[in-house]
Structure formats: structure tokens, C-alpha cells
Amino acid sequence: MIDEKVDGTNVRIFWEPADQFSPNYGGRTDNAQMPTSLLQHLQHTFTREKLQKQFPDARKVILFGEGYGPKIQACGGRYRKDVSFILFDVWIDGWWLEKESVLEIASALDIEHTINQKIMTTAEVVEFVKSKPKSYIAEDRELIMEGVIARSVPLMLFRNHKTPIMFKLKVRDFPDISEVEA
């Protein structure tokens, strides 16, 4: 199954009700820098009250997504005019949720989610990305998507049982022949 890869900054939202300082907001790594406008958006969107209501019985939740919009990557302003967060994965108490459950959580939290394209073979994914498809998410309908994230159906994990098996493929991985010859 593929989803559009959004060109932004990786975001993790940690919710542990027993921690009085929760929720916490981070990037791909614990030392990642986050734009102030994005942090403010996350703090306003993912409040303690909202997360407690959505996850009343959970001990630990991690929401994975992408922060995007103006000043978050070179093309960020072409996606939208303000900063936002788009959800792509959810982990609750040691379990990775299937895509349908991720979409339900996004709807309940009133946040965006990556658009589930369809199931494709690896060869079909490569051809799709080579075709330079337009972004489904961007307000600028002429923006070519950065690429796709492909994952197995049903969801499979690496042998460590901690990480879903997936791969990313970007449009820039397939330069035009004219670009290579130049």
C-alpha cells in the first residue's frame, strides 16, 4: 500500500497520561530542532485534554507524522499557506495500528492524514513514482509529489518487532535522461 510522502519535517507526539508533562513533541530524533510555528501548532492541536479523551485507557501513545507548510522545506508554502501536521502512523502500548485505525484516530482528533492510495506491486510503485504524479495533499495542484511511502499489507514488522517494514521512493530518484546527460 502506498501513501504520498510529504516534504516536511518528521514529528513525533508522545502521550503518557501518567507523565504530568505529557504530551511531548519531538522530531525524528530526540535532538531534532523544530520550527517555533510548528511547535505552537502542535501544542494547540494536541492538548492533554484532547489526547486523554481519545486515548482514555492507553499507557503510552506515539503519533507519527510530518510537520509541513511555509518555511518548513523549500516547497512548504506550495502545500498550504499555514503550518500543519499530517498523521501517518500510530503506536499504542507496543502495537502499531493498521491504516484504517490511523484514519479513524485522525478523524477523531480532527487532523489531516496521509491519503491511502492503493495496493501496488513494487514494479507498479516504481512506475507510478517515475510518472512524476501530482501531490494529492498540496493546495498547489501543480506540485509534483516528493514520492511515496510503501508498506506491506497486512502490516509486517522487522525481526525486532519494533519497526514496520516499509520503503520510501522519491521522484528525484529517477532523473530525466536529459538531466543526466547535462
Within 10 Å of residue 88's Cβ, how many Cβ atoms?
Answer: 24
Query: What pLDDT was estimated at residue 115?
Result: 78
The bridge status of strand 112-113 relative to strand 84-92 is parallel
What is the model's pTM?
0.89
CA 78 to each of CA 113, 125, 141, 175: distance values in angstroms, whole numbers, following the listed order: 18, 24, 9, 22
Domains in the chain: boundaries:
2-181
Average pLDDT, the chain: 89
Query: What pLDDT was estimated at residue 28?
Result: 78
Q: What digits encode the pLDDT tens for the residues 113-136?
A: 987 778 899 999 999 999 999 999
What average pLDDT does range 155-170 have in this prediction?
85
pLDDT confidence bin for 39, thresholds 50/70/90: very high
Buried b (16+ CB within 10 A) or exposed e, 151-177: beeeeeeeeeeeeeebeebebeeeeee
Kindly report the CATH class assigned to 2-181. alpha beta
Kindly state the cell numbers that stand for 177: 535522461
Burial (CB count <10 Å: 0-12, 13-18, 19+), residue 13: buried
Asked if the model's pLDDT at residue 55 lies above 50, the reply is: yes
What average pLDDT does range 44-69 have in this prediction?
96
pLDDT confidence bin for 177, thresholds 50/70/90: low
